[in-house]
């Protein structure tokens, strides 16, 4: 059989019981189909990455594939899971369709977070979901200032700030009252976390406008930056955090029948009448 993707990397938590079975079945199927299974260290030689797990595994796969641009197919073995859209029951059929060229692709925005310290040091990280400024080791609020494309937006007081991609709009940003945004839109969602002022609301801005955040001096101020859930390090007054659209993007692969709105209905229980309960 002629297949669209010959060299494939499978990523997933091999010691996770929910992943072990599907991973073994998929490896056997791909080998029989004539695919070469590569290790994650050979990602640059891969034609496709298949991630088995939850959205955390998809985020890990996106970090692996960022430089090479290798497309990613997600098999959902997590809990909620908005990124990995293939169920285990559909796994072999879906992968077979993809190998035969029956698929669609979806280009997702990546954010580049650049943390410039007052002493001149600089750190860079990349996010498929979000970049978060959050208070750390303190019961006090943090004060910080936000700018978009160099223009002053607001001075915030609260637990922090989320800068999310459309992909990340269904993650942490959603739980803080942010909007759900179609993945194809080139926008960034800026969402205050537990703001002291109730009128401090989420805003949506163009992805080609950098967002800058700086921490203001306050007693017992301690804050850190996390990128897709991983700590980038602490931020102190005098440091500057700039978030902008990254040069690279992440390509997701979807088998036939992919429907973003169907995923939302399924995961968020839209249309379900909670008044009707089994007796």
Using only C-alpha atoms, what is the Rg of the chain?
Answer: 20
Please, which pLDDT band fits residue 74 given cuts at 50, 70 and 90?
Answer: very high
pLDDT of residue 32: 96
263 and 85 Cβ atoms separated by less than 8 Å: yes
Q: Which letter, b or e, does each residue of 52-70 get, where b requires 16 or more Cβ atoms within 10 Å of its Cβ? A: bbbbbbbbbbbbbbbeeeb
Question: Span 73-84, mean pLDDT?
Answer: 86
**Residue 214 is encoded by which pair of tokens?**
């700086």
pLDDT of residue 277: 55
pLDDT of residue 279: 46
Between helix 17-33 and helix 91-99 the angle, nearest 10°, is: 40
Distance (Å, whole) CA 150 – CA 147: 6
pLDDT digits (tens, 9 = 90+) for 180-224: 999 999 999 999 999 999 899 999 999 999 999 999 988 878 899
Higher pLDDT, 276 or 114: 114
pTM summary value = 0.92
Mean pLDDT of all residues belonging to the chain: 93
pLDDT of residue 193: 97
- Where are the chain's structural domains? 7-108+249-268, 111-245
Asked if pLDDT for residue 134 goes beyond 90, the answer is yes
Q: Which of 159, 162, 157, 131 is nearest to 144 (CA)?
A: 157
Question: Span 138-163, mean pLDDT?
Answer: 94
Question: Span 119-125, mean pLDDT?
Answer: 94
Q: Which CATH class is domain 111-245?
A: mainly beta
Asked if pLDDT for residue 6 goes beyond 60, the answer is yes
Topology annotation, domain 7-108+249-268: Rossmann fold (3.40.50)
Asked if pLDDT for residue 2 goes beyond 70, the answer is no
Query: What region, left, alpha or beta, does residue 122 occupy, with left being phi > 0 and alpha being psi -120 to 50 degrees?
Result: beta
Q: Measured in whole angstroms, how far is the alpha carbon of residue 83 from the centre of its chain?
A: 8
Asked if pLDDT for residue 276 goes beyond 70, the answer is no
pLDDT digits (tens, 9 = 90+) for 166-185: 999 999 999 999 999 999 99
Residues serving a catalytic function are 55
């Amino acid at each position: 059989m002629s297949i669209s993707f010959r060299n494939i990397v499978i990523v997933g938590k091999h010691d996770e019981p929910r992943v072990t079975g599907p991973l073994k079945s998929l490896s056997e199927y791909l080998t029989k189909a004539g695919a070469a299974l590569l290790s994650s260290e050979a990602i640059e030689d891969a034609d496709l990455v298949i991630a088995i797990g939850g959205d955390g595994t998809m985020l890990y796969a996106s970090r692996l594939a960022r430089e090479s641009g290798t497309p990613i197919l997600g098999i959902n073995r997590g809990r909620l899971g908005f990124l990995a859209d293939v169920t285990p029951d559909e796994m072999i059929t879906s992968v077979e369709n993809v190998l035969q060229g029956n698929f669609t692709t979806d280009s997702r925005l990546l954010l580049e977070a650049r943390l410039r310290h007052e002493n001149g040091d600089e750190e860079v990280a990349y996010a498929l979901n979000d970049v978060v400024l959050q208070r750390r080791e303190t019961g006090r609020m943090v004060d910080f200032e936000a700018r978009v494309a160099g223009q002053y937006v607001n001075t915030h007081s609260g637990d922090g700030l989320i800068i999310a991609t459309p992909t990340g709009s269904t993650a942490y940003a959603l739980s803080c009252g942010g909007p759900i945004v179609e993945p194809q839109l080139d926008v960034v969602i800026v969402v205050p976390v537990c703001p002291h002022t109730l009128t401090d609301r989420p805003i949506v801005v163009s992805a080609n406008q950098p967002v800058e955040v700086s921490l203001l001096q306050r007693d017992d101020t301690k804050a850190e930056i996390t990128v897709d859930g991983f700590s980038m390090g602490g931020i102190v007054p005098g440091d500057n955090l700039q978030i902008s659209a990254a040069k690279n993007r992440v390509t997701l692969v979807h088998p036939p029948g992919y429907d973003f709105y169907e995923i939302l209905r399924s995961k968020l229980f839209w249309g379900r009448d909670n008044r009707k309960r089994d007796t």
